Amino acid sequence: MQIITKGIQLLVLSGIVLSCTQTPSSIQNKILGDDKYKKVISLIEVADSLAETDPDSGLMVIAEISNYPSKGMATELITAYANQIRGVAYISKGKMKEGFDLIESSHSFFLALNDSLPLAVSYKRKGYALRKMNKYDEAIKCNIEALTISEEKKTTKNIAYLNNALGLLFMQTGNYENAINYLNHALKLYEQENDQFGLSKVLNNLGGTYYKMGHNVLSLENLEKAYEIKKKLGETGSLGSTSTNIGLVCLELKLYNKAVDYFNEALIQSRLKNDRWGEANTLNNLARGYIENNAINTAKEILKKNKSTVESVNTPDLRMEWYSLSYKINQKEGNSNKALEFYIKYTTLKESVFSTNKDKIIGEIQGKYESEKKGKEIEVLSKLRTVQESRLKMQYYIGFFLAISFLSLIIFSLLLLKRYRSNNKEHFLLKTKQTEVVEKNAILNKTMNEVAIKTEQLKKQRDLAKEQKNQIQHQKEEMTNSIRYAYRIQSAILESKELSKIYTPNNFTLFRPKDIVSGDFYWIREIENYSVFAVADCTGHGVPGAFMSLLGISFLNEIFSDKNKIEPHEILNSLRAKIISALHQNVSDPINNDGMDMSLLFIDHARKKILYSGANSSLFVVRKSELIEIAGDKMPVGFYYNMSPFTTHTLSIGPSDCIYLATDGFADQFGGPDGKKFRMKGLKNLLLQIGDKPLEQQKNILECSFDAWKGNNIQVDDVLILGVKV
């Protein structure tokens, strides 16, 4: 804030020191024009610059003002400014009610003062408080009031700040088109003023808006620019918000470790500033990061610690996020009742904040602003016409003045000529020195041109690298989109969970592809008196494996349409013949050995027995405290150097038996404390432990065991386990 005292103007705009060129505030000049108030003015300026980014320091400076005596109207004006700055600091610390009460009481004083410049400042501070309290429509109204006054007074930095504030508000209300327009206008103004700190704030908000729109690459580009500027300026006060935004984008890009690093940096900055709102917001984001990375226990602990902070700050945005994250954790843990409780709290609070009426209110406020702006433009044009008419009347006087000025110029030139001739020697020496300067300038210009050429070359290289990066990114996105479409096709062909329940209600399927599409597949049918289950592991995974899986499913459908083949070994023999024929496999081409390992199970419910045939696969039956393993034939469904007919195994089953078919992906996963494989022995022990539990609980235990064993290691293969309870 600046106060004009005999030539210095006062204008505060939410923590930014502004340089203005308009006519000074007459009321403030009369009240604070005395030199004895200069120290108070300086303290107010310093406190105002710290209120948002370092609120504790700002409050300490404001406290010093009471040591300086004042009287009358000066006391009221100084108290009003101090209370508003104190209110901004409280808001920044998360003390919303105390801060807003101070700002609102001072706002009434400035309305009564009827001086446009301090009133614009007061509207802007009130808008800042309302935004932090999530009262977006009221905040927009206050900022537009401030912007109207600032545009009338042509205070460029005021206008830039308010465009940035309005852009942030429109982003928070989901009006992204308006947000981008206001933010780009603010960016242009800050670039004209070469205000690096202002640029960093706008870039931060642009990054946040693009993140909301789903443009993650563009968002990260703007946020990293803002981060670098703040680092260069040493601006740690607002660095936390940028670190938070970068962390959120990294979550969307699945860069979980990088996201956690940025969130931790933001948490440090919030705690250094004693910013309770920022601390609560960052802890929410940290919890979200761990949820995305399936570290549920860590996320749960963070939310538990953050509960008291969220409740003490008590703003709707923090509570909504806390409820949403608590809902996700309980949903993942299978706590349906608790999850529903948090979801209801979240939606109820969200509807109270973002009511359908707000868009209408915001539109009316913006329309009023545009109407007033056009009215002021008409008023300016009218005044301009009056000025032009006055200029015509003044032409005669101007002509006379120019004639006198021209005569004076001639006399002055003659005097200069006389002086020049009397100092000819000094002029010669000056000329010599000037020549030397010109020569040195020429050398300097040459050097600068060389530097400019090299700079241009570096710029071209940078642009080329950026273009190549964008091309690679585009190609990657196209490939990923193609694979995702293939996933949709494969998912449509695979048996759905609902369909499998229709055939045989008591079963579960644990299916986790290594990549987007899978080389493992499962197949379920009811054939005559049998429930038929097939689990297969095709050669490879990802796209090649997916093609093989589609081939296997297609051939199984074709084979089972032939009612004469209802024995498991006959099915595998027919499937092998079709695979060999389709892939043109023979002895002369040993490299072409693609195929699949398969478990094929027939359950005869009437006779209480199972028929099983396997290719490089085993079937497991858990009966009370015993695990029975039926090994399949040691050859694949495909060309093999020592092929023989497949074998069907028969086993009677009891009422509580649990049967499992599995590929090798679970057993081959590396992890645990020593980074070793889980192994088939470990899987059999786990099945024996869970065989007497409900099927849904068995599936949850298998999933949790796999995630715990894998940890941060990559998944090495597709995982598929199918369980059936008789």
Domain ranges of the chain: 1-153, 155-271, 423-491, 494-725
Query: Residue 54 is inside which H or E element, if any?
Result: none
Give 588 or 718, the one with higher predicted confidence.
718
Considering the chain, what is the average pLDDT of its residues? 81
CATH number of 1-153: 1.25.40.10
Residue 586 has pLDDT above 60, yes or no: yes
Counts of helices then strands in the chain (DSSP H, E):
24, 15
Over residues 231-288, the pLDDT tens digits come to 888 877 678 888 889 989 998 888 888 888 888 888 888 888 788 888 899 999 999 9
The domains spanning 1-153 and 155-271 adopt the same CATH topology: yes
* Identity of the amino acid at 276: R
**Which phi-psi region, left, alpha or beta, contains residue 537 (left: φ > 0; alpha: ψ -120 to 50)?**
beta
Over residues 371-427, the pLDDT tens digits come to 555 555 545 445 445 545 555 566 666 666 677 776 777 887 777 777 777 666 666
pLDDT the model gives residue 22? 31
CA proximity to 576, closest of 565, 585, 567: 585
Helix axes 296-313, 316-332, angle to 10 degrees: 160
Residue 584 has pLDDT above 70, yes or no: yes
Buried b (16+ CB within 10 A) or exposed e, 170-199: bbbbebbebbbebbebbbebbeeeebeebb
Q: Are 235 and 201 in contact (CB under 8 A)?
A: no
pTM here is 0.44
Residue 591 has pLDDT above 80, yes or no: no
Average pLDDT over residues 290-316: 89
Q: How does DSSP classify residue 65?
A: G
Give 243 or 366, the one with higher predicted confidence.
243
Q: In the chain, what's the furthest Cα-to-Cα distance?
A: 132
Over residues 453-492, the pLDDT tens digits come to 887 887 878 877 777 777 767 665 655 555 555 555 655 5
Instruction: Say which residue the tokens 């000066």 belong to.
Output: 74
Over residues 423-436, the pLDDT tens digits come to 666 666 767 777 77
CA pair distance 468, 479, nearest whole angstrom:
16
- Computed from CA positions of residues 34, 36, 37, 43, in that sequence, does the dihedral angle turn out positive or negative? positive
* CA contacts within 13 A on the Cβ side of 258: 12
**What would the two tokens of residue 642 be?**
């020592």
In sequence order, the 6+-apart residues with CB closer than 8 A to the CB of 250 are 220, 256, 258, 259, 262
What is the four-CA torsion angle of 130, 135, 137, 141, rounded to 10 degrees? -10
Provide φ and ψ at 496, rounded to 5°. Answer: -80, 160
Buried b (16+ CB within 10 A) or exposed e, 519-555: bbbbbbbeeeebbbbbbbbbbebbbebbbbbbbbbeb
- The superfamily in CATH containing domain 155-271 is Tetratricopeptide repeat domain (1.25.40.10)
Is the domain defined by 494-725 classed in CATH 3.60.40.10?
yes
CA pair distance 55, 324, nearest whole angstrom:
30
**What would the two tokens of residue 142 be?**
């206050």
DSSP string, 483-543: HHHHHHHHHHHSPPHHHHHHH-SSEEEEEE-SSSS-SEEEEEEEETTEEEEEEEEESSSHH
**H helix intervals, 72-115:** 73-92, 96-113
| Angle of CA points 659, 647, 699, to nearest 5° | 20
Give 334 or 1, the one with higher predicted confidence.
334
Over residues 541-566, the pLDDT tens digits come to 677 778 888 999 999 999 988 766 67
**What would the two tokens of residue 310 be?**
């969220």
* Identity of the amino acid at 663: T
Over residues 599-617, the pLDDT tens digits come to 999 999 889 999 999 999 9
Query: Residue 663 is inside which H or E element, if any?
Result: none
Q: How far apart are the first and last CA of the chain?
A: 79
pLDDT the model gives residue 623? 95
Provide φ and ψ at 665, rounded to 5°. Answer: -65, -40
Least confident of 126-135, 231-240, 450-459, 496-505: 496-505
pLDDT the model gives residue 487? 57
Q: How does DSSP classify residue 633?
A: B
